[in-house]
Amino acid sequence: MSSKADPTFPAIGLNVVEGHDNLWAKTKAAFQYVYKHHFDDADWFFKADDDTYAVIENLRYLLKDYSPTEPVYFGRRFKPYVTQGYMSGGAGYVLSRQALRRFVTVALVSRFMCSQQDEGAEDLEIGQCLQNCGVKAMDSRDELGRERFHPFPPDLHLIPGAVSKDNWYWEYNYYPIREVSMIFHGVW
């Protein structure tokens, strides 16, 4: 999805102004487009930015035990501002078919459930909308409690201390952060 159509890429042109300040407008328009043109084509709908890396097989493994008919969504869960938390836009998030249906046909059409403005933090805004229409924010961690969705480049998640302790990240995470330690054996 883009602000300009490009059939060689291919990119779907949405009627939105380009820029970071308009991500909420682009997200709303993108999900409306997907609902109208592709709702019956998939069970799950993954939102990712152009700099997001995803291992689709891992995503399939996460979703295998859940039904797309349940109103649920997964991603890196943050805790402030939304009672049940919301998923980080930078890490990407995935909506079930039922979550997409509720978002487009129930939440987006209600000024009481969703912001009608174009500006706003897209991940926070959709998190509020989804909560308001009964879509549940799910625990996306693996059986060992490790996060599967990461909002920063890999090095910031893999190198202890790479993210300063006064960074917003430490307070936003819904679940306690478990830093890894990397021990290398061998000759460099």
Residue 85 lies in a domain: yes
- Classify residue 110: in a domain, yes or no: yes
Task: Give the Cα-Cα-Cα angle 69, 76, 54 (nearest 5 degrees).
Answer: 80
The verdict on residue 127 lying in a domain is yes
Q: Is residue 23 part of a domain?
A: no
Residue 178 within a domain: no
Question: Residue 77: which CATH number?
Answer: 3.90.550.50
- The amino acid sitting at 58 is N
Residue 1 lies in a domain: no
Residue 14 domain-assigned (yes or no): no
> What's the structural domain count of the chain?
1
pTM over 0.75: yes
Structural domain includes residue 96: yes
- Residues paired with residue 73 on neighbouring β-strands, in sequence order: 95, 137
Going residue by residue through the chain, which has 188 residues, state the pLDDT in tens, using 9 for 90 and above. Answer: 888 898 888 889 898 888 888 899 999 999 999 999 999 999 999 999 888 999 999 999 999 999 999 999 999 999 999 999 999 999 999 999 999 999 999 999 999 999 999 999 999 999 999 999 999 999 999 999 999 999 999 888 888 889 999 999 999 999 998 876 666 555 55
C-alpha 37/C-alpha 21 separation (Å) is 26
For 142, the domain range is 43-172
